[in-house]
Amino acid sequence: MNERDAIGYWVDGPRQGALRHEVLPAPGAQEAVVRALHGAISRGTELLVYRGQVPPSEHQRMRAPFQRGEFSFPVQYGYATVGLVEQGPDGWAGRTVFCLHPHQSRFVVPVDALFPVPVGVPAARAVLVANLETAVNASWDLAPRVGERISIVGAGTVGLLCAWLCARIPGCQVQVVDVNPTREPVVRALGASFVLPGAAVGDADRVIHASGTGEGLDTALSLAAFEATVLELSWYGERPVTVSLGAAFHARRLTIASSQVGSIATSQRARWDHRRRMTLALSLLDDPALDRLVTGSHPFDRLPERMRALDQGEPGCICERIDYPTTPGLE
Protein backbone atom coordinates (compact mmCIF):
# COMPACT_ATOMS: atom_id res chain seq x y z
CA MET A 1 0.00 0.00 0.00
CA ASN A 2 1.13 3.55 -0.69
CA GLU A 3 0.56 6.81 1.16
CA ARG A 4 -2.79 7.40 -0.60
CA ASP A 5 -4.25 4.03 0.45
CA ALA A 6 -6.53 3.62 3.44
CA ILE A 7 -8.76 0.99 5.03
CA GLY A 8 -12.02 1.95 6.74
CA TYR A 9 -14.54 0.07 8.82
CA TRP A 10 -18.13 0.07 7.50
CA VAL A 11 -21.40 -1.40 8.71
CA ASP A 12 -23.03 -2.80 5.57
CA GLY A 13 -26.24 -3.94 7.24
CA PRO A 14 -27.56 -4.89 10.69
CA ARG A 15 -24.74 -6.74 12.44
CA GLN A 16 -22.62 -6.81 9.26
CA GLY A 17 -19.29 -5.03 9.70
CA ALA A 18 -16.47 -5.12 7.15
CA LEU A 19 -13.18 -3.43 6.23
CA ARG A 20 -12.96 -1.61 2.90
CA HIS A 21 -9.99 -0.32 0.94
CA GLU A 22 -10.05 3.14 -0.60
CA VAL A 23 -7.72 5.68 -2.18
CA LEU A 24 -7.58 9.04 -0.42
CA PRO A 25 -7.96 12.32 -2.29
CA ALA A 26 -5.04 14.71 -2.39
CA PRO A 27 -5.24 17.14 0.56
CA GLY A 28 -6.16 20.78 -0.05
CA ALA A 29 -4.20 23.76 1.20
CA GLN A 30 -5.92 23.72 4.61
CA GLU A 31 -6.27 19.98 4.91
CA ALA A 32 -4.13 17.30 6.57
CA VAL A 33 -3.43 13.62 5.99
CA VAL A 34 -3.70 11.81 9.31
CA ARG A 35 -2.46 8.28 9.99
CA ALA A 36 -4.49 6.67 12.76
CA LEU A 37 -2.66 5.40 15.84
CA HIS A 38 -5.53 4.46 18.16
CA GLY A 39 -9.28 4.61 18.29
CA ALA A 40 -12.02 3.69 20.72
CA ILE A 41 -15.37 1.96 20.43
CA SER A 42 -18.44 3.47 22.03
CA ARG A 43 -20.18 0.35 23.29
CA GLY A 44 -23.46 2.19 23.66
CA THR A 45 -23.97 4.28 20.54
CA GLU A 46 -21.87 2.22 18.15
CA LEU A 47 -23.61 -1.02 19.04
CA LEU A 48 -26.99 0.63 18.39
CA VAL A 49 -25.68 1.71 14.97
CA TYR A 50 -24.25 -1.78 14.36
CA ARG A 51 -27.60 -3.37 15.18
CA GLY A 52 -29.59 -0.95 13.05
CA GLN A 53 -31.40 0.47 16.09
CA VAL A 54 -31.12 4.20 15.38
CA PRO A 55 -34.68 5.55 15.13
CA PRO A 56 -35.50 7.16 11.76
CA SER A 57 -36.41 10.37 13.58
CA GLU A 58 -32.78 10.61 14.78
CA HIS A 59 -30.96 9.79 11.54
CA GLN A 60 -29.90 13.38 10.95
CA ARG A 61 -29.29 14.39 14.56
CA MET A 62 -27.15 11.29 15.16
CA ARG A 63 -24.81 11.87 12.25
CA ALA A 64 -21.18 11.91 13.37
CA PRO A 65 -18.58 14.29 11.93
CA PHE A 66 -17.17 12.82 8.69
CA GLN A 67 -19.75 10.03 8.72
CA ARG A 68 -20.29 8.54 5.29
CA GLY A 69 -23.42 6.70 4.28
CA GLU A 70 -26.71 6.57 6.12
CA PHE A 71 -28.10 4.63 9.07
CA SER A 72 -30.22 2.70 6.60
CA PHE A 73 -26.82 1.21 5.57
CA PRO A 74 -24.11 1.09 4.51
CA VAL A 75 -22.64 3.54 7.00
CA GLN A 76 -19.19 4.45 8.30
CA TYR A 77 -19.61 5.62 11.87
CA GLY A 78 -17.38 6.44 14.84
CA TYR A 79 -15.96 9.47 16.62
CA ALA A 80 -12.78 8.64 18.50
CA THR A 81 -9.51 8.57 16.55
CA VAL A 82 -6.03 9.65 17.65
CA GLY A 83 -3.49 9.94 14.88
CA LEU A 84 -0.29 11.42 13.56
CA VAL A 85 -0.35 14.17 10.93
CA GLU A 86 1.69 12.91 8.00
CA GLN A 87 1.09 15.89 5.73
CA GLY A 88 -0.45 19.29 6.30
CA PRO A 89 -0.01 23.06 6.42
CA ASP A 90 3.02 24.57 8.17
CA GLY A 91 3.33 23.46 11.77
CA TRP A 92 1.03 20.46 11.52
CA ALA A 93 3.21 17.64 10.18
CA GLY A 94 4.37 15.30 12.94
CA ARG A 95 1.77 16.41 15.49
CA THR A 96 -0.33 13.94 17.45
CA VAL A 97 -3.98 14.91 17.12
CA PHE A 98 -7.49 13.85 18.02
CA CYS A 99 -10.27 13.86 15.43
CA LEU A 100 -13.95 12.98 15.59
CA HIS A 101 -13.52 10.58 12.68
CA PRO A 102 -14.86 7.07 11.97
CA HIS A 103 -12.56 4.07 12.22
CA GLN A 104 -10.08 4.36 9.34
CA SER A 105 -6.35 3.81 8.97
CA ARG A 106 -5.73 7.13 7.14
CA PHE A 107 -7.95 10.06 6.31
CA VAL A 108 -7.94 13.59 4.95
CA VAL A 109 -9.72 16.32 6.94
CA PRO A 110 -9.59 20.12 7.32
CA VAL A 111 -7.06 21.14 9.96
CA ASP A 112 -9.76 22.96 11.90
CA ALA A 113 -11.24 19.52 12.66
CA LEU A 114 -8.04 18.46 14.44
CA PHE A 115 -7.30 18.90 18.14
CA PRO A 116 -3.61 18.70 19.15
CA VAL A 117 -3.02 16.23 21.97
CA PRO A 118 -1.22 18.02 24.82
CA VAL A 119 2.38 17.11 25.58
CA GLY A 120 2.34 14.60 28.42
CA VAL A 121 -0.92 12.93 27.38
CA PRO A 122 -0.13 9.57 25.72
CA ALA A 123 -1.89 8.90 22.43
CA ALA A 124 -3.29 5.66 23.85
CA ARG A 125 -4.99 7.60 26.68
CA ALA A 126 -6.26 10.35 24.41
CA VAL A 127 -8.88 7.96 22.98
CA LEU A 128 -10.88 8.71 26.13
CA VAL A 129 -11.41 12.35 25.20
CA ALA A 130 -14.74 11.96 23.37
CA ASN A 131 -16.21 10.23 26.43
CA LEU A 132 -14.59 12.78 28.73
CA GLU A 133 -16.14 15.59 26.71
CA THR A 134 -19.52 13.93 27.33
CA ALA A 135 -18.73 13.73 31.05
CA VAL A 136 -17.72 17.41 31.14
CA ASN A 137 -21.00 18.39 29.51
CA ALA A 138 -22.88 16.16 31.94
CA SER A 139 -21.13 17.78 34.91
CA TRP A 140 -22.26 21.19 33.64
CA ASP A 141 -25.84 19.90 33.37
CA LEU A 142 -25.62 18.27 36.81
CA ALA A 143 -24.11 21.39 38.45
CA PRO A 144 -22.75 19.65 41.58
CA ARG A 145 -21.82 21.78 44.57
CA VAL A 146 -19.12 21.51 47.22
CA GLY A 147 -19.91 18.88 49.85
CA GLU A 148 -22.78 17.14 48.08
CA ARG A 149 -23.63 13.44 48.01
CA ILE A 150 -23.50 12.24 44.41
CA SER A 151 -24.52 8.80 43.15
CA ILE A 152 -23.60 7.51 39.69
CA VAL A 153 -25.37 4.39 38.45
CA GLY A 154 -23.37 2.58 35.76
CA ALA A 155 -19.61 2.03 35.82
CA GLY A 156 -19.01 2.25 32.08
CA THR A 157 -16.57 4.70 30.54
CA VAL A 158 -18.83 7.77 30.74
CA GLY A 159 -20.12 6.95 34.22
CA LEU A 160 -16.59 6.48 35.55
CA LEU A 161 -15.37 9.71 33.98
CA CYS A 162 -18.31 11.54 35.58
CA ALA A 163 -17.32 9.98 38.92
CA TRP A 164 -13.72 11.09 38.45
CA LEU A 165 -14.77 14.67 37.74
CA CYS A 166 -17.21 14.84 40.67
CA ALA A 167 -14.72 13.26 43.09
CA ARG A 168 -12.37 16.20 42.49
CA ILE A 169 -14.90 18.65 43.96
CA PRO A 170 -14.00 19.37 47.61
CA GLY A 171 -16.17 17.59 50.14
CA CYS A 172 -18.23 15.61 47.64
CA GLN A 173 -18.99 12.00 48.48
CA VAL A 174 -19.21 10.12 45.19
CA GLN A 175 -20.79 6.66 45.10
CA VAL A 176 -20.66 4.52 41.94
CA VAL A 177 -23.30 1.80 41.71
CA ASP A 178 -22.86 -1.15 39.34
CA VAL A 179 -23.75 -4.84 39.13
CA ASN A 180 -20.17 -5.79 38.22
CA PRO A 181 -17.98 -6.06 41.36
CA THR A 182 -14.77 -6.18 39.28
CA ARG A 183 -15.19 -2.44 38.66
CA GLU A 184 -14.46 -1.63 42.32
CA PRO A 185 -10.64 -1.22 42.04
CA VAL A 186 -11.03 1.16 39.09
CA VAL A 187 -13.68 3.19 40.90
CA ARG A 188 -11.51 3.53 43.99
CA ALA A 189 -8.50 4.55 41.90
CA LEU A 190 -10.62 7.41 40.54
CA GLY A 191 -11.41 8.68 44.05
CA ALA A 192 -14.96 7.36 44.45
CA SER A 193 -16.57 4.53 46.42
CA PHE A 194 -18.13 1.44 44.84
CA VAL A 195 -21.28 -0.43 45.86
CA LEU A 196 -23.53 -3.08 44.39
CA PRO A 197 -27.14 -1.94 43.83
CA GLY A 198 -28.45 -3.70 46.95
CA ALA A 199 -25.97 -1.89 49.19
CA ALA A 200 -26.29 1.60 47.67
CA VAL A 201 -26.84 4.49 50.07
CA GLY A 202 -29.75 6.78 49.21
CA ASP A 203 -30.59 10.42 49.93
CA ALA A 204 -28.23 11.63 47.16
CA ASP A 205 -28.24 15.33 46.32
CA ARG A 206 -27.52 14.58 42.66
CA VAL A 207 -27.73 11.37 40.64
CA ILE A 208 -26.34 10.40 37.24
CA HIS A 209 -27.70 7.39 35.38
CA ALA A 210 -25.35 5.84 32.80
CA SER A 211 -26.06 2.10 32.87
CA GLY A 212 -28.14 1.95 29.70
CA THR A 213 -30.85 -0.14 31.38
CA GLY A 214 -34.30 0.53 32.76
CA GLU A 215 -33.32 -1.29 35.95
CA GLY A 216 -30.45 1.12 36.39
CA LEU A 217 -32.75 4.11 35.95
CA ASP A 218 -35.06 2.68 38.63
CA THR A 219 -32.05 2.33 40.94
CA ALA A 220 -31.04 5.92 40.22
CA LEU A 221 -34.51 7.18 41.11
CA SER A 222 -34.50 5.18 44.34
CA LEU A 223 -31.26 6.90 45.44
CA ALA A 224 -32.41 10.48 44.81
CA ALA A 225 -33.22 12.70 47.79
CA PHE A 226 -36.19 15.07 48.07
CA GLU A 227 -36.47 17.36 45.02
CA ALA A 228 -33.26 15.91 43.54
CA THR A 229 -32.62 15.49 39.81
CA VAL A 230 -31.60 12.29 38.07
CA LEU A 231 -29.50 13.16 35.02
CA GLU A 232 -30.05 10.57 32.28
CA LEU A 233 -26.99 9.94 30.09
CA SER A 234 -28.05 6.61 28.58
CA TRP A 235 -29.34 6.55 25.01
CA TYR A 236 -31.59 3.63 24.13
CA GLY A 237 -32.12 4.06 20.40
CA GLU A 238 -35.35 2.28 19.42
CA ARG A 239 -35.42 0.17 22.57
CA PRO A 240 -38.35 1.00 24.91
CA VAL A 241 -37.51 1.41 28.58
CA THR A 242 -39.88 0.79 31.48
CA VAL A 243 -39.33 2.93 34.57
CA SER A 244 -41.24 2.99 37.85
CA LEU A 245 -42.80 6.39 38.43
CA GLY A 246 -44.99 5.20 41.27
CA ALA A 247 -43.88 4.67 44.88
CA ALA A 248 -42.24 7.87 46.19
CA PHE A 249 -41.45 9.47 42.81
CA HIS A 250 -44.11 12.19 43.13
CA ALA A 251 -43.93 12.54 46.91
CA ARG A 252 -40.22 13.28 46.68
CA ARG A 253 -40.81 15.64 43.74
CA LEU A 254 -38.06 14.06 41.66
CA THR A 255 -36.94 15.26 38.24
CA ILE A 256 -35.49 13.23 35.35
CA ALA A 257 -33.39 15.43 33.05
CA SER A 258 -31.57 14.54 29.84
CA SER A 259 -28.01 15.42 28.87
CA GLN A 260 -26.49 14.99 25.43
CA VAL A 261 -23.07 16.02 24.19
CA GLY A 262 -24.32 17.28 20.82
CA SER A 263 -25.37 20.57 22.44
CA ILE A 264 -23.38 22.64 24.91
CA ALA A 265 -25.01 22.59 28.36
CA THR A 266 -27.43 25.48 28.77
CA SER A 267 -25.46 27.03 31.63
CA GLN A 268 -22.33 27.34 29.45
CA ARG A 269 -23.76 27.88 25.99
CA ALA A 270 -23.35 31.67 25.88
CA ARG A 271 -19.58 31.47 26.39
CA TRP A 272 -18.44 28.03 25.24
CA ASP A 273 -18.33 26.31 21.85
CA HIS A 274 -17.50 22.73 20.92
CA ARG A 275 -13.83 23.47 20.26
CA ARG A 276 -13.29 25.10 23.65
CA ARG A 277 -15.05 22.19 25.36
CA MET A 278 -12.98 19.57 23.53
CA THR A 279 -9.75 21.45 24.27
CA LEU A 280 -10.69 21.45 27.95
CA ALA A 281 -11.36 17.71 27.90
CA LEU A 282 -7.96 17.03 26.31
CA SER A 283 -6.21 19.13 28.93
CA LEU A 284 -7.85 17.10 31.72
CA LEU A 285 -6.36 13.82 30.46
CA ASP A 286 -3.05 14.41 32.24
CA ASP A 287 -3.98 11.97 35.06
CA PRO A 288 -2.38 8.49 34.71
CA ALA A 289 -5.22 7.05 36.81
CA LEU A 290 -7.39 7.32 33.70
CA ASP A 291 -5.32 4.61 32.01
CA ARG A 292 -7.23 2.12 34.16
CA LEU A 293 -10.35 2.79 32.10
CA VAL A 294 -8.77 1.33 28.95
CA THR A 295 -9.16 -2.34 29.81
CA GLY A 296 -9.17 -3.88 26.34
CA SER A 297 -7.19 -3.31 23.16
CA HIS A 298 -7.51 -4.97 19.78
CA PRO A 299 -5.83 -4.61 16.38
CA PHE A 300 -7.78 -2.67 13.79
CA ASP A 301 -7.86 -5.58 11.35
CA ARG A 302 -9.90 -7.56 13.91
CA LEU A 303 -12.52 -4.85 14.39
CA PRO A 304 -15.33 -6.72 12.52
CA GLU A 305 -14.82 -9.75 14.75
CA ARG A 306 -14.60 -7.59 17.86
CA MET A 307 -17.88 -5.82 17.10
CA ARG A 308 -19.57 -9.20 16.70
CA ALA A 309 -18.25 -10.28 20.10
CA LEU A 310 -19.46 -7.08 21.78
CA ASP A 311 -22.86 -7.48 20.13
CA GLN A 312 -23.10 -10.97 21.61
CA GLY A 313 -22.60 -9.53 25.10
CA GLU A 314 -18.96 -10.28 25.82
CA PRO A 315 -18.31 -8.66 29.23
CA GLY A 316 -15.25 -7.25 30.89
CA CYS A 317 -13.95 -4.22 29.04
CA ILE A 318 -14.63 -0.64 30.08
CA CYS A 319 -13.11 1.29 27.17
CA GLU A 320 -12.30 -0.73 24.05
CA ARG A 321 -9.21 0.66 22.32
CA ILE A 322 -8.37 0.00 18.69
CA ASP A 323 -4.67 -0.17 17.80
CA TYR A 324 -3.66 0.60 14.23
CA PRO A 325 -0.44 -0.72 12.60
CA THR A 326 2.63 1.12 13.85
CA THR A 327 4.43 0.95 10.51
CA PRO A 328 2.98 3.10 7.69
CA GLY A 329 1.88 1.07 4.71
CA LEU A 330 1.17 -2.16 6.59
CA GLU A 331 -2.57 -1.66 7.07
* Tens of each residue's pLDDT in the chain, 331 residues: 677 899 999 999 999 999 999 999 999 999 999 999 999 998 889 999 999 999 999 999 999 999 999 998 999 999 999 999 999 999 999 999 999 999 999 999 999 999 999 999 999 999 999 999 999 999 999 999 999 999 999 999 999 999 999 999 999 999 999 999 999 999 999 999 999 999 999 999 999 999 999 999 999 999 999 999 999 999 998 889 999 899 899 999 999 999 999 999 999 999 999 999 999 999 999 999 999 999 889 999 999 999 999 999 887 689 999 999 975 544 4
Phi, psi at 228, each rounded to 5°: -85, 165
Distance separating alpha carbons of residues 108 and 106, to the nearest angstrom: 7
The secondary structure of 274-325 as a DSSP string is: HHHHHHHHHHGGG-GGGGGGEEEEEEGGGHHHHHHHHHTT----SEEEEE--
Q: Which of 27, 156, 149, 137 is nearest to 93 (CA)?
A: 27
Residue 196 CA neighbour count, 13 Å, CB half: 5
- Structural domains in the chain, CATH included, are 5-127+272-323 (3.90.180.10), 144-258 (3.40.50.720)
